[in-house]
Amino acid sequence: MKDNKTSQAASLYDANVQKTIPRYVTFHEETIELVRAAHPSPKNWLDAGCGTGTLIAKAQVSFPGVRFVASDPSEAMLEIAREKLSGLDVEYVQAGSEVLSVNQRFDVVTAIMAHHYLSSGLRITATEKIFAALNPGGVYVTFETIRPFTGTGTSIGLQRWRLHQLAGGKSAEEVEKHISRYGIELLPISIEDHLNLLRKVGFSTVEILWASGLQAGFFAIK
């Protein structure tokens, strides 16, 4: 039985994520740089879908003194995060964004490759909950699996994703198993639809942060 929603067990996630998702490290770098520019002195930060806690481990170096809340639906992921972030001021919540309930407001909320497991209705609910969890002027950063404008664009994007995984040492069988999740377990959203969702929820500033292949980053300000 799987212990999380990704394609590998939680214990194998850190060893495999960069082989699986192109430029994954860039997502964290872009997120931290954006927060540094848009809200340089946050007091608290919610990382929704925190996984094994890698973003928080990196962010606390640039933002010492920030109080983090790490949420994830997977108990196994949170166990690894607790070990990785031992000694830091972090609160842990076992919940997905779509059911998240917190009794505080945040200057920063992040959701890195977390909402592409959600149906469109649950993605709306998750985004509404994140909006509600932000302080006025708070910053939301999210990275998503995206749906290109055309079928040809999708085919090329999937081939680029396939070649990245093969180059990382995954077997052809492993690669095809992962690619087959696109549109079934990994539910993409177009860039346009995601921007419209963020506007509809109520964000005053909505922007594309980064895009390549079948992944894109967005930021929004409440």
- Mean pLDDT score, 154-162: 98
Tell me 186's DSSP state: B
Average pLDDT over residues 177-181: 95
Reply yes or no on whether the pLDDT at 1 is more than 80. Answer: no
Give the predicted TM-score (pTM) of the model. Answer: 0.96
Which two three-digit tokens encode residue 84? Answer: 């990785």
Q: What percent of the chain has pLDDT over 90?
A: 93
Sign of CA dihedral 119, 72, 21, 10: negative
pLDDT in tens, 6-62: 878 888 899 999 999 999 999 999 999 999 999 999 999 999 999 999 999 999 999
* Environment class of 168 (CB within 10 Å of its CB; exposed 0-12, middle 13-18, buried 19+): middle
Predicted confidence at residue 12, as pLDDT, reads 87
Tokens standing for residue 204: 């005053």
Domain over 24-148+188-221 is classified CATH 3.40.50.150: yes
Q: How confident is the model at residue 124 (pLDDT cuts 50, 70, 90)?
A: very high
Out of 9-18, 122-131, 196-205, least confident range: 9-18
